[in-house]
Amino acid sequence: MSASVVPQSSRSGLLDKKFKSLGLEYDFDFVLHLPLRYEDETAIHKISQIYPGQSVQLEGVVTHSEVVFKPRKQLLATFKDDTGQISLRWIHFYPSQQKMLEKGGLVRIRGEVRGSSMWGFELIHPKMSKAGEALPKTLTPVYPTTEGLAQPSIRKAVLEALSRTVLADTLPEAIQQKYLLPNFAQSIQALHHPAVGTDPDELTQKLHPAWLRIKFDELLAQQLALAAARAARQQKKSFPMQIQPGELAAGLLKGLEFSLTAAQQKVIAEINHDLQREYPMHRLLQGDVGSGKTIVAGMAAATVLENGFQVAIMAPTEILAEQHFIKMKKWFEPLGIEVAWLSGSLRTKAKQEATNAIASGQAQLIIGTQALIQKNINFHRLGLMIVDEQHRFGVGQRLSLSRKGEHLLQNQYMVPHQLNMSATPIPRSLAMTFLADLEVSVIDELPPGRTPVVTKLFSDNRRDELLEHVRQEVKNGRQVYWVCPLVEESEALQLQTAVDTHARLQEELDDVRSGLLHGRLNTQEKANVMAAFVQHELDLLVATTVIEVGVDVPNASLMIIEHAERFGLAQLHQLRGRVGRGQVNSVCVLLYQQPLSKVASQRLKAMYETTDGFEIARRDLEQRGPGEFLGVRQSGLALLRFADIEADYQIVEQAREAAKELRENYPEAVEKHLHRWMRGKEDYIRT
């Protein structure tokens, strides 16, 4: 192509940038940058033997070329070898290409055969190169790439990295034999440059034995990392809590207007069990939206408070944190506990007061946003950190969280207990692979008296009908949520859409008292709108996804989600969970706009078919992969690149077993393997 005028040094800087955007930095990154598919360029085909759909490589001459304008401008050429002729066609082309064709002479071309033997074959946009060049002896890899980075550049970089890297096997012979694993170096070579005749489907579907080895190694590394994290945690010290006499917990229960479900009692017992140990609890509390996780958190807090330690509760949004604050204050202040609030939006003076109260220990139960884990916050004696909707926090935040509160006590590193809560149920397969380091408690039963939310799908041409529903619901003394369309591209546009949606609804429903809640309101404004809705001074709450988590207004019985096709499954499930929280029958209307993409219609179908959070999570995993569940999407950290925890379940099992064996008998192999696969991810291992 055209000669580059960019000086060498800055061009390679540009290239490096492109490589980096693909996560390719060190040699080993390139070694593991495995092809998506392959092209067979090992042979020159004869025109007399080609067939439609085949990828071919031909050598011959261009006998004729012209630019035609019917039906549109295109470049046509006739190409001939000694067995026949075909047409070439370019719909987009440069004058330079035109010139090259006119020059004549022997050329090599590559492309996919179209047409029929009856009307003649043609190649569209064939690739051209010099004839007579040596043919490769192996299949040509096609790598995942990014815009502006051509295959030849990646191929070259991978080849160079391969030649510089020693691919010594990390696994002892015995392990390789036991699990019938091919050698690592050979597997890597086989995947970059497969021998002619290798089944292309086995390669692209990752079923080839070489793939088995790579997937095994990846899963093994993950299991080893988790085991290391668990071992490291058990080395740490925590304050063991006394569960008895439990007066504070008893006092809390007495003040409730309900009694705990069996499922809630079970998970509280599990938490208490952990709190008594000398190493930190690291437990995930799962329960579908509305299953009553908050009181479980309250009970755990009561135990730790009674032992004379501080408890912190952190939530991902101000709205959610504030709801917790209100609830905890109501529950704990009558019991003589000092409940404090900390968020980034507090005025300087109030923030300083809160910070001081946290440091002196005067504040006993502290609720807030991620402001709680800022550097300048020092707890006096933090015994338990509760994190609500923990998967919404990024890896970095979870890291500083795990470091928070570690402090020296009698020369020992003491770490607070940690309870993570999530309403996004994590499918079993995922929990076993990624969260093997976590203990998991599940609230598998909803409080009594709930009727499941009925979900309806409405095309948006039925909006008028829907408005009538809203009026009716409001007339019956119920409250309604209206979720604004999601505009992911731009925050400004999102805001505008919310404002417009609210204005339009106010006009359409002029006898309904409505309010608007969005992320750009300041804390006070948000709190005011929320309070007005809670106290039923508003009938209709128009909101963005800020209401997604935790909002709890049992009198709300109708939820409308506009442009539901734009939301993810987990998000829709969370939103729907805002209704059906009381005794009244509730409805969730998913308003969608045609045409629906396949994925979107699958999502809406899933929402229509089930209200079971686990089932929804399973389908979500199928559609989006595990990153979403574990909150690592923002960090850009790919969790598993090669293995698929559902499809490769058997390999997962083998890797677990092998990890155990390695840790017991081959500690050097563990070191080597982790070093190879986890370099740069040490932080992740710790979370």
**Residues found near Mg ion in the complex (CB under 5 A):** 550
CB of 479 to Mg ion, least distance (A): 19
Taking CB within 5 to 8 Å according to partner kind, which of ligand ADP, Mg ion, none is near residue 291?
ligand ADP
Strand 479-483 relative to strand 407-409: parallel, antiparallel, unpaired? unpaired
Residue with the closest Cβ to ligand ADP? 292
- Say how far apart CA 197 and CA 292 lie, in whole Å: 59
Taking CB within 5 to 8 Å according to partner kind, which of Mg ion, ligand ADP, none is near residue 26?
none
Phi, psi for residue 171 in degrees, rounded to 5 = -100, 135
CB of 510 to ligand ADP, least distance (A): 32
Please classify residue 254 by burial: count the beta carbons closer than 10 Å to its beta carbon, then call 0-12 exposed, 13-18 middle and 19+ buried: exposed
Cα–Cα distance list, 214 to 31, 38, 194, 411 (Å): 11, 18, 15, 44
Cβ distance to ligand ADP smaller for residue 260 or 454 = 260
Sequence letter at residue 611? T
The dihedral over CA atoms of 156, 158, 163, 164, expressed in degrees to the nearest 10, equals 110
Taking CB within 5 to 8 Å according to partner kind, which of ligand ADP, Mg ion, none is near residue 194?
none
Cβ distance to ligand ADP smaller for residue 450 or 686 = 450
Name the 3-class secondary structure at 382.
strand
Cβ distance to Mg ion smaller for residue 34 or 530 = 530
CB of 562 to ligand ADP, least distance (A): 23
Taking CB within 5 to 8 Å according to partner kind, which of ligand ADP, Mg ion, none is near residue 51?
none
Strand 106-116 relative to strand 127-130: parallel, antiparallel, unpaired? antiparallel
Contacts with ligand ADP, residue ranges (CB under 6 A): 258, 260-261, 264, 287, 289-295, 423, 447, 552, 554, 581
Query: Other C-beta atoms within 10 Å of 647: how many?
Result: 13
CB of 391 to ligand ADP, least distance (A): 14
Residue with the closest Cβ to Mg ion? 550
CB of 274 to ligand ADP, least distance (A): 20
CB of 294 to ligand ADP, least distance (A): 3
DSSP string, 405-470: T-EEETTEEE--EEEEEESSPPPHHHHHHH-TTSEEEEE-SPPTTPPPPEEEEEEGGGHHHHHHHH
Cβ distance to ligand ADP smaller for residue 293 or 351 = 293
Phi, psi for residue 212 in degrees, rounded to 5 = -55, -45
Taking CB within 5 to 8 Å according to partner kind, which of Mg ion, ligand ADP, none is near residue 552?
ligand ADP
Taking CB within 5 to 8 Å according to partner kind, which of Mg ion, ligand ADP, none is near residue 258?
ligand ADP
- Say how far apart CA 597 and CA 218 lie, in whole Å: 33
Taking CB within 5 to 8 Å according to partner kind, which of ligand ADP, Mg ion, none is near residue 261?
ligand ADP
DSSP-derived letter for residue 562 is E
CB of 399 to Mg ion, least distance (A): 23
- Say how far apart CA 529 and CA 517 lie, in whole Å: 7
Cβ distance to ligand ADP smaller for residue 131 or 260 = 260
What is the widest separation between alpha-carbon atoms in the chain? Answer: 96
CB of 453 to Mg ion, least distance (A): 16
Taking CB within 5 to 8 Å according to partner kind, which of Mg ion, ligand ADP, none is near residue 57?
none
CB of 558 to ligand ADP, least distance (A): 18
Let me know: does 401 contact 415? Beta carbons within 8 Å: no
Taking CB within 5 to 8 Å according to partner kind, which of ligand ADP, Mg ion, none is near residue 673?
none
Q: Which two tokens stand for residue 46?
A: 């004869």
CB of 345 to ligand ADP, least distance (A): 23
Taking CB within 5 to 8 Å according to partner kind, which of ligand ADP, Mg ion, none is near residue 501?
none
Cα–Cα distance list, 675 to 373, 530, 678 (Å): 30, 50, 6
Q: Which two tokens stand for residue 643?
A: 């293995």
Taking CB within 5 to 8 Å according to partner kind, which of Mg ion, ligand ADP, none is near residue 111?
none
CA-nearest of 55, 115, 685, 200 to 398 is 685
Taking CB within 5 to 8 Å according to partner kind, which of Mg ion, ligand ADP, none is near residue 295?
ligand ADP
CA-nearest of 542, 536, 569, 527 to 554 is 536
Cβ distance to ligand ADP smaller for residue 264 or 455 = 264
CB of 602 to ligand ADP, least distance (A): 25
Cβ distance to ligand ADP smaller for residue 289 or 534 = 289
- Residues, the chain, total? 687
Hunting for tokens 């909150």 — which residue is that?
631
442 forms bridges with which residues in the sheet? 286
Please classify residue 670 by burial: count the beta carbons closer than 10 Å to its beta carbon, then call 0-12 exposed, 13-18 middle and 19+ buried: buried
Cβ distance to ligand ADP smaller for residue 458 or 614 = 614
CB of 290 to ligand ADP, least distance (A): 5
Cβ distance to ligand ADP smaller for residue 123 or 296 = 296
DSSP-derived letter for residue 250 is H
Helix (H) or strand (E) holding 66: strand 55-68
CB of 545 to Mg ion, least distance (A): 15
Cβ distance to ligand ADP smaller for residue 223 or 291 = 291
441 forms bridges with which residues in the sheet? 285
Phi, psi for residue 308 in degrees, rounded to 5 = 85, 15
CB of 674 to ligand ADP, least distance (A): 37
Name the 3-class secondary structure at 80.
strand
Cβ distance to Mg ion smaller for residue 293 or 603 = 293
Taking CB within 5 to 8 Å according to partner kind, which of ligand ADP, Mg ion, none is near residue 292?
ligand ADP
Cβ distance to Mg ion smaller for residue 19 or 331 = 331
Cα–Cα distance list, 598 to 564, 595, 604, 623, 626 (Å): 14, 10, 10, 11, 20
Taking CB within 5 to 8 Å according to partner kind, which of ligand ADP, Mg ion, none is near residue 260?
ligand ADP
Cβ distance to ligand ADP smaller for residue 32 or 541 = 541
CB of 254 to ligand ADP, least distance (A): 14
Cβ distance to ligand ADP smaller for residue 23 or 554 = 554
Q: Is the dihedral of CA 288, 290, 292, 295 positive or negative?
A: positive
CB of 664 to ligand ADP, least distance (A): 40
Cβ distance to Mg ion smaller for residue 416 or 550 = 550
Cβ distance to ligand ADP smaller for residue 394 or 554 = 554
Taking CB within 5 to 8 Å according to partner kind, which of ligand ADP, Mg ion, none is near residue 287?
ligand ADP
- Say how far apart CA 159 and CA 467 lie, in whole Å: 63
Taking CB within 5 to 8 Å according to partner kind, which of ligand ADP, Mg ion, none is near residue 420?
none
Q: Which two tokens stand for residue 260?
A: 């705990």
E strand residue ranges, 478-576? 479-483, 514-517, 540-543, 556-562
457 forms bridges with which residues in the sheet? 590
Q: Kindly report the three-state secondary structure assignment for every residue of 469-487.
A: HHHHHHHCCCEEEEECCCC
